[in-house]
Amino acid sequence: LGTETMANRDLAVGLILLTQTIIGILGNFSLLCHYTILSFTEYRWKSTDFIHKHLTVANLLALLCKGVPQTMAAFGRKHFLSDLGCKLLLFLHRVGRGVSISSICILSVYQAITISPGNSRWAELKVKAPEYIFPSIFLCWILQMLVNIIFPMYLTSTLNDKNITVKKNFVYCSSVRHDKTRDSLYAVLLSFPDVLCLGLMLWTSGFMVLLLYRHKQRVQHIRRATASSGSSPETRATQTILLLVSTFVCFYTLSSIFQVFMGLFDNPSLILVNIAAIVSVCFPTVSPFLLMSHNSKIPKICFAWR
């Protein structure tokens, strides 16, 4: 009965991960194709389109390098990666996740600058802001690679687990155990860029919410007079970014909680590892559909999921 229960649980986890991975890959790939096609047309690119493109690439990287192997492990294929494969997949997943966070942060800051009033301290940046988009995204990729380059060094494939007592088992990969102080310092190093981006996102989001509220109060009587229920493109873009940020913060908080629990245990349970994996791929799965649902320029073929 216990074996049957574990098999049913693994099957349920595998189906959830498989569904998430397929939907996420299709959504991000559709959005990436849309922006790739636009790059070969006479369409005038927006700065936010460039950020969206890199966000979808980062999401695809995170989904392919986390969702696919975790799904295979849930269906029983737990020993299929070599040491090099294990290190490479986990490294690329960390980089994709980090660039995804950084892209949303840049998107939030850029939109806050764009909608800021002419008499604010950010007014001078409005003209120059688009010029900083490309170097900012490029810098994010480089920084995430440098920060996470240490991450794969302590990972090995479960195929080579000869002394399991000194390793933490994460289904298809294992990590070498260290003392708590060293692990804590390493966790702070890895988390610092994420926490910095999270702080910037919350700050700019609060700023945008305040601006939208003031704008709504200011033009309320005009809308009543014209009986118009439509909103400006800037308002719709800001609402989309706020939705992205709030969705990310929710999933990031949940993911961080599970990561802390996994770090506290020398050998985290399989169900904890699986739940952490499911939560970690939630945002890459959801974010392309949030972008598509609020972008009227994306062809209707991208809305087949609806």
CATH (domain of 59): 1.20.1070.10
| Highest mean pLDDT pick, 194-203, 235-244, 252-261 | 194-203
* Domain that residue 186 falls in: 1-293
Domain membership of residue 301 (yes or no) is: no
What predicted TM-score, i.e. pTM, was given to this entire model?
Answer: 0.83
Tens-place pLDDT, residues 209-254: 888 777 677 666 565 545 444 566 667 777 788 888 888 888 888 8
Share of the chain above pLDDT 70, in %: 73
Domain membership of residue 299 (yes or no) is: no
Per the prediction, the chain carries an average pLDDT of: 78
Long-range pairs of 154-159 with CB within 8 A, sequence gap ≥ 24: 154/178, 155/83, 155/86, 155/87, 155/90, 156/83, 156/86, 157/79, 157/81, 157/82, 157/83, 157/85, 157/86, 158/78, 158/79, 158/81, 159/79, 159/81, 159/82, 159/83
What pLDDT, on a 0 to 100 scale, did the predictor assign at position 43? 60
132-250-206 Cα angle (round to 5): 50
Six-digit token pair at 89? Answer: 């997949």
Dist CA 187 CA 82 (whole Å):
25
Six-digit token pair at 4? Answer: 């049957």
Tens-place pLDDT, residues 278-294: 888 899 999 888 888 76
Domain membership of residue 141 (yes or no) is: yes
What pLDDT, on a 0 to 100 scale, did the predictor assign at position 20? 92
Between 17-26, 169-178, 189-198, the lowest mean confidence (pLDDT) is in 169-178
For residue 285, give the nearest of 69, 15, 12, 27 by alpha carbon. Answer: 27
Domain membership of residue 304 (yes or no) is: no
Lookup result for tokens 């940046």 = 125
Which is more confidently placed, 59 or 173? 59
At residue 156, what are phi and psi to the nearest 5 degrees?
A: -140, 160
Which is more confidently placed, 51 or 120? 51
Tens-place pLDDT, residues 92-121: 988 999 999 999 999 988 888 888 776 667
What pLDDT, on a 0 to 100 scale, did the predictor assign at position 14? 84
Q: For the chain, give the number of residues.
A: 306
Domain membership of residue 303 (yes or no) is: no
Domains contained in the chain, number: 1
Between 40-54, 66-80, 142-156, 176-190, the lowest mean confidence (pLDDT) is in 176-190
